[in-house]
Amino acid sequence: MTVVPVVYTKGQYNHLIARALQDLGAESKLLPAGTSVAELKALKADALVMGGGPQRVRSVADLTPELSSAAQLIKEVELPLLCICVTHQLMATVYGGETGAAPKPEFGPVKISVAEEDSILRGTGPSFTAWESHNDEVVKVPQGFRVLAS
């Protein structure tokens, strides 16, 4: 069975993400942001999802202790990694990208268009509907990263 834990960063939907992974046949559970790479290896994780949360990311120097732990995990993990919401913004910041306020807060269903198929999006089709709840966005993609969907 595929093992895909979800790192919990105080997001209101993190448990639903873990449940959706379970419904897809993966073994999944919530883990705290302070989870170490060694703990992930002990779980025999095949991939990792880092969930969302209400925090804001402006610079690596201004992170909460929880997001600082999550940033360390992002840098050290050697697994396929999907970062959602605040951890998506955190990953961009950790690798030299920039985040900022979105032109307007966004909340509700949104159509996502796949720009480039990759293994993480395989089987989703050219578009899919996701749920958004955020005030911030990645405004500059880190060097070497690709936008797969938006």
What pLDDT does 20 receive? 93
Q: Are 135 and 125 in contact, with CB atoms under 8 Å apart?
A: no
What pLDDT does 118 receive? 80
Residue 45 has pLDDT above 90, yes or no: yes
Q: Is residue 146 part of a domain?
A: no
Q: Is residue 31 part of a domain?
A: yes
Q: Which two tokens stand for residue 109?
A: 């269903």
Q: Is residue 110 part of a domain?
A: yes
The string of pLDDT tens digits covering residues 56-103 is 898 878 888 889 999 999 999 999 999 999 999 999 999 999 999 999
Distance between CA 76 and CA 72 in Å, rounded? 6
Share of the chain above pLDDT 90, in %: 63
What pLDDT does 99 receive? 93
Residue 120 has pLDDT above 80, yes or no: no
Q: Is residue 150 part of a domain?
A: no
Residue 131 has pLDDT above 80, yes or no: yes
The range of the structural domain enclosing residue 67 comes to 6-140
Smallest CA-to-CA distance from 79 within 139, 35, 124, 123 is with 35
Residue 42 has pLDDT above 90, yes or no: yes
Q: How far apart are the first and last CA of the chain?
A: 30
* CATH number of the domain bearing residue 92: 3.40.50.880
Average pLDDT for the chain: 91
**Length of the chain, please?**
150
Q: Is residue 117 part of a domain?
A: yes
Q: Give 43's pLDDT tier (boundaries 50, 70, 90).
A: very high
Count of domains for the chain: 1
